[in-house]
Amino acid sequence: MVDGWVAPEVLVLADHPEGMTALRSGLEEQGYSVVVGSREEAVPAHPALESVTVVLIEVEDITGLQLEAIRALAGAAPSERRVVVVGEGNVADRVRLLNAGADLCLPRGLSGDEQLARVLAVIRQAGLHGRRLTLREGNLTVDLARRAAAYRGRRLSLSPAEYRSLRELALRVVENRSRFPGPDGDDRLTMAIRRLCDFAERLEENTQSRMLDRAHLHVEAAESRRAKA
């Protein structure tokens, strides 16, 4: 069981989910949790909608985007949720979506940095802020916002590659918990947690090994100084 899990705050539904990697990484680095799915999923009924701060819909062409879906998203919790649409279209198309309740319409082709900056600006203007995503599972605590982790009460010494792997495994646990509720999701969640905890065991061993190496170096340096004295 995950104690203190923070529900996803940004839901990205895209025609091309693989193209959302840069935006997802940027939001996660700001402390947001992100769920990326296909736009083929029923938007108003998506299980993550109960808690998200931003819904971002990415389409090839905004002309065919149903106004009913935008109205449903904007009308459910207008004071707590923001809707961003990314796609090609003319001024009339953008006005149509904004009048239906979208908070921002962005063209395709923006750089990852600009797209991220504009989404964060919408969040700031609305007075909405990301919460820290801290995952606790058994003896493991992962604070993704601070890029830190502890196992059995001791902080883990992580290389950049180890942190990236730990972060990916931790986010997989969060995503499985949010996207696959019910019996079918249990196996996926159990497997994700097992992989996370197994990796934490290896990280603890690596941390202890590094501490011993540093201790040996300290002793050798002290002996060397005494021999020269």
Query: What is the reported pTM?
Result: 0.52
Are 146 and 186 found together in one domain?
A: yes
Give the three-state DSSP class for 2. Answer: strand
Place of tokens 């950049």: 160
pLDDT tens across 84-116, in order? 898 888 999 999 999 988 888 988 888 888 888
Among 28, 8, 24, 6, CA closest to 134: 6
CATH number of the domain that 71 lies in? 3.40.50.2300
pLDDT tens across 74-92, in order? 765 445 678 889 888 899 9
pLDDT tens across 59-72, in order? 888 887 878 878 87
Rounded distance between C-alpha atoms, residue 190 and residue 74, angstroms? 34
Q: Which of residues 164 and 96 earns the better pLDDT score?
A: 96
Q: Which two tokens stand for residue 38?
A: 């296909």
Whether 5 shows a pLDDT value over 50: the answer reads no
- Domain residues for the domain of 42 are 2-125
Are 65 and 154 found together in one domain?
A: no
Q: What are phi and psi of 132, to 5 degrees?
A: -65, 140
What single DSSP character describes residue 6?
P
Are 6 and 108 found together in one domain?
A: yes
Rounded distance between C-alpha atoms, residue 152 and residue 221, angstroms? 31
